Amino acid sequence: MFHNHRINIFIYYTLTAVSLLGILYYSLIVLETKNYPVLLLVLINLVIFAGVIISKLSVDPLLEHITNLQNLSKETLHELNLPISTITTNIEMIKKSLNDPKDLKRIQRIQSACDMLKERYNELDYMIKLQSSSVVHEEIQLCKLVQSRVDFLSPIYSQVEFELNLTSTKVLNDKIGLSKVIDNLIDNGIKFSQSVNKISVKLEANTLSIQDYGCGMDEVELLSVFDSYYQNNKDIRGFGIGLSMVKRFCDTNDILLNFKSKPNVGTTVTLKFKES
């Protein structure tokens, strides 16, 4: 489809150029026009008109493609809701009939995987709302939000010790987007902690700090840490887009983001919120 469309645009460009040259030749040679300013004005108007038509031909298929992708995302999101709900309901029913600790542990792993699917569902829903500018800012008890994100991640990273020091703090912000930011920062800290399975999370005076005790980064790496697809350790799985998303969210929502890191010591990320 796009190949044929490019051919059509090329043909239109060619016809436009030939037409303009024909008009110029007819005016200067056949009609022997001497009023050059008027001729120039006519040609400029024709070029502008042709440009508008060509722009429309170029943009319309792209807009149609984007619309189709948005519709597909919404339909896929709707279809995901049913299997997730079905899995959740059946897990609860199965748990009631199990007594063996090993079986309960297995079903808990399934529960954790289902919870992760729910998170991906919420993220897709959030991204669609973000595109349509329907994201709502609300008053958030930040200490409760941080605690809930740690509670969610703890079963997934059962080997990690979370050291929490949270004071009551209220902020006005995008709750779902902020949850994604906290998840990304904790997840990154765990990935780069290497053999030290400990994450410290501190909240006081409208400042949230997340500290790991892993490989850390030097000054050169810190300059590139927010670049999309950047990874300072190719052996660690991931696409390198988490921190660029974090930076974009903080810039959009007036959150001051700061990184402090030292090789073989660890990294501390701080989020400084405006007072409500």
72-112 pLDDT, tens per residue? Answer: 666 666 667 677 778 888 888 888 888 888 888 888 888 88
The residues with which 259 forms a beta bridge, in sequence order, are: 269
Distance CA 151, CA 18 (A): 69
In the prediction, which pLDDT does 235 show?
46
| Spatial contact of 252 and 242, defined as CB atoms under 8 Å apart | no
pLDDT single digits (tens) 136-152: 788 999 999 999 999 98
Residues of the chain with pLDDT under 70: 1-36, 38-43, 45-47, 49-66, 69-79, 81, 128-135, 224, 226-242, 276
Q: What pairing do the DSSP bridges indicate for beta strands 161-166 and 198-204?
A: parallel
The set of long-range contacts for 208-211, using a CB threshold of 8 Å and a minimum separation of 24, is 208/142, 208/146, 208/182, 208/270, 208/271, 208/273, 209/268, 209/269, 209/270, 209/271, 210/182, 210/185, 210/186, 210/268, 210/269, 210/270, 211/266, 211/267, 211/268, 211/269
Q: Report residue 195 as tokens.
A: 């053999």
pTM for the whole structure: 0.60
Amino acid identity at 212: D
pLDDT at 39: 62
Structure tokens at 228: 């999309």
| Residue closest to 87 by CA, chosen among 48, 123, 121, 113 | 113
Residue 9, token pair as written in the block: 């645009």
Q: What are the φ/ψ torsions at residue 192 (nearest 5 degrees)?
A: -100, 15
According to the model, what pLDDT value does residue 104 have?
84
Rg (CA), the chain: 28
pLDDT of residue 150: 93
